[in-house]
Amino acid sequence: MGTGETMTELSKDVLIEMEIVGFTAEGAGVGRYQGMAVFVPGALPGETVAARVVAIRKNFTLARMVKLIKAHPGRIKPPCPTFEHCGGCNLQHTNYLNQLGLKTAIVREALRRIGKIETEVKPTLGAESPYHYRNRMGYHVAREGDSFKLGFFVRQSKRFIEAEDCMLAATSIQKLAMCLPRSLGGHAAGLEGLRDVVVRCNSDESVLLLTLVADKPLQAGTSLAADLMAAEPRLKSVWECAGQPVYGIYGEQWRLLQGEKFFPDTLCGRQLLLSPATFIQVNPAQTQILYQLVCDYAALTGSETVLDLYCGAGTISLCLADQAAQVIGVENYPPAVENAERNAELNDAANCRFICGAAERILPELAADGVKADVAVLDPPRAGCDTAVLYTLCALGPAKIIYVSCDPATLARDMRILCEGGFVTTAVQPVDMFPQTGHVETVVLLEKEC
């Protein structure tokens, strides 16, 4: 609005005009109207839009873009036909260079606003291939009679949209997903309760794993698995996971329907054997860049004790083991700990040991037992670290903390505690693990104040 112009009173369904000045990781442009932050999905910083107010909350307003008055020069036509509705991507409407700039700004703004930290944020490291990079895809299953479809939920809803031909999926996953509906239809009578399918591939896409996620055990699971593996040579194992969700979409009842028990992969030169639900990063090429940053920031000399908290299957631990005296990994998910122990043996990393339990419980116990850490690596889930972990690390006082984060907001919150506890931020490097989405991974180096 220009100086002196009359502003319409802010209320539901009112049409307002404003400049977009910020951006959220959820893909919404941020403007200000009558002093109120207004979130407009699909709008980009630098654009002027006309938007209709959808809802007014205490501290912000939600609006829907009605007209793009002034477009950002980086705006493009989204290549995916379902982009406007699917909840998977929210940045396909701008070119990749601008996506990287937006992610750098998201991290910088989170550190400034939430963490009260003013520090240099390096430009986001982009991916060589911003499409077909995901090595794991979860699809919802929709059924009508004996006909099946794979797809996703429309953004912020439970409305299904067919989209097995996803532009983010690795090509081997995409090929299998496009064939699955017909195979499911051939076994429809025995697939009552099937709600999701998860497809994984290894780094070179030579091996595939399929998990059928259902409310109850599937009568046709074994015969379906046999048919699928006969049709697709790269499919090496098919699993069934039954029961109500307790770990993401997964239930507690796991059954190997056919094939190999462990899923093989190679990452950063390390051999891995993984269980079907064990988490590893979904972008193999960018993961190597991410883990190399961790190694560079650690700058180990061979004499250090390293704590790897939230270690998962031990992938970071294995990358650091060659240059450390010992690495102690802590992970709360038992199958991942089993994988980590097996992977350490597979890679002759005898100086790695892994403890199963919540980091907020195990870390104080290690401190009480006299463990002294020179370097601590944090790679928590999106919710960030428990405060007990942060306060214990402040008391332990390792020379370095390397924080690997998938959520800038919780990263900033946790960094503020660490900085107040005697650490100084010396490097912040975003890495684009999730092109075409607003998500960004960040590696931060914090060093103990002298």
Assign a CATH topology to domain 102-128+283-448.
Answer: Rossmann fold (3.40.50)
Which residue, 283, 312, 316, 284, is CA-closest to 298? 316
pLDDT recorded at residue 382: 94
For residues 47 and 26, give the distance between their C-alpha atoms in angstroms, rounded to a whole number.
Answer: 17
How do the domains of the chain map onto residue ranges? Answer: 11-72, 102-128+283-448, 136-267
Tokens of 394: 């402040």
Which residue, 91, 190, 173, is CA-closest to 440? 91
The answer to whether 75 touches 45, Cβ cutoff 8 Å, is: no
For residues 77 and 64, give the distance between their C-alpha atoms in angstroms, rounded to a whole number.
Answer: 19
For residues 300 and 287, give the distance between their C-alpha atoms in angstroms, rounded to a whole number.
Answer: 20
Q: Is the dihedral of CA 158, 163, 166, 170 positive or negative?
A: positive
For residues 200 and 202, give the distance between their C-alpha atoms in angstroms, rounded to a whole number.
Answer: 7
Question: Which segments of 154-257 does DSSP mark as H helices, in order?
Answer: 171-185, 221-231
The answer to whether 204 touches 211, Cβ cutoff 8 Å, is: no
The answer to whether 151 touches 138, Cβ cutoff 8 Å, is: no
What letter does residue 215 receive in the DSSP assignment?
S
pLDDT recorded at residue 375: 98
Tokens of 350: 């005898």
The answer to whether 153 touches 87, Cβ cutoff 8 Å, is: yes
For residues 372 and 352, give the distance between their C-alpha atoms in angstroms, rounded to a whole number.
Answer: 15
For residues 374 and 309, give the distance between their C-alpha atoms in angstroms, rounded to a whole number.
Answer: 14
pLDDT recorded at residue 154: 84
Tokens of 433: 């693990």
pLDDT in tens, 126-154: 999 999 999 999 999 999 999 999 999 88
pLDDT recorded at residue 429: 98
Reduced to 3 states, what is the DSSP secondary structure of residue 378? strand
**Domain range 136-267, its CATH number among 3.40.50.2300, 3.20.20.80, 3.40.50.300, 2.40.50.1070:** 2.40.50.1070
For residues 151 and 140, give the distance between their C-alpha atoms in angstroms, rounded to a whole number.
Answer: 5
For residues 305 and 397, give the distance between their C-alpha atoms in angstroms, rounded to a whole number.
Answer: 13
pLDDT recorded at residue 2: 45
- Phi first, then psi, for residue 228 (nearest 5°) are -65, -45
Query: Active-site residues: which are they?
Result: 406
For residues 73 and 156, give the distance between their C-alpha atoms in angstroms, rounded to a whole number.
Answer: 28
Reduced to 3 states, what is the DSSP secondary structure of residue 257? strand
pLDDT recorded at residue 5: 46
pLDDT recorded at residue 1: 47
For residues 291 and 297, give the distance between their C-alpha atoms in angstroms, rounded to a whole number.
Answer: 10
Place of tokens 């002034």: 70
The neighbour count for residue 141, using CB atoms within 10 Å, is 21
Distances (CA, A) of 9 to 12, 13, 35: 10, 11, 12
For residues 47 and 340, give the distance between their C-alpha atoms in angstroms, rounded to a whole number.
Answer: 48
136-267 has the same fold as 11-72: yes
Apex 409 CA angle, 406 and 413, nearest 5: 110
Q: What are 22's strand-pairing partners? A: 30
Listed in sequence order, the residues at least 6 apart from 127 whose beta carbon sits closer than 8 Å to its beta carbon are 133, 283, 285, 286, 432, 433, 435
pLDDT recorded at residue 128: 95
Q: Is the CATH number 2.40.50.140 carried by domain 11-72?
A: yes
Residues of the chain below pLDDT 70 = 1-7
